[in-house]
Chains A and B, each alone.
Chain A
């Protein structure tokens, strides 16, 4: 059974940093692109970042809203994906979801339960 478990969400002040982790199980982690999405309270879904498998160079894509501030990475030996979030802004307050991404459709076929990040002074 595919499972994705996020951790690391917290209450932080604007300008500070936070690292989210996503621990995967039930599939061959290194073979898949992994992604992060987020959902602000009462709002819709927003894509944040992708990291491709090392087969495809481990390249990354980031939404314009987080470019230069957020960095996605992966440790295939531990089956963990990370999202390093720097220079956090109040607009980054959201539930962050880790996903497995499949195919050329870039579809997120499995989602974690989410972890809440609150940026507030």
Chain B
């Protein structure tokens, strides 16, 4: 059972905008900044968003992150087939004194 809650799956058609949510608590998302990772099939994870909404160099601006209270969201606009992957939210938890992850959301591009 993951500390952060994500929907197990999401889907969209090419060109659509999809949103993936991540719910936590006051000791994690409510207190610290959220990072998002993308894991393409059979590959290592890749940092997609850091500090709630910062895109590392090379990440398309189709990807955006936001946070409100104890929840965070990853939005993908102009969905492309290559976006089909697992997406994970992660954040430092002050009570557990460590990084906690969501269970991951498998995104399918129909």
Contact = CB atoms under 8 A, between A and B. Distances in A.
Interface of A: 37, 44-47, 50, 61-64, 97, 102-114
Interface stretch (B11-19, B68-76, B93-101): B93-101
B9 to A, nearest CB: 13
Contacts, number: 61
B50 A47 contact: no
A62 B97 CA distance: 8
Given A44-B88, A105-B51, A113 B97 contact: no
A64 B96 contact: yes
Given A44-B104, A45-B101, 10 more contacts: A37-B45, A46-B101, A47-B90, A47-B98, A63-B99, A97-B45, A102-B50, A106-B99, A107-B35, A114-B44
Contacts of A47: 90, 98-101
B44 A45 contact: no
B24 interface: no
Interface string B78-110: 000000001010101000111111111000000
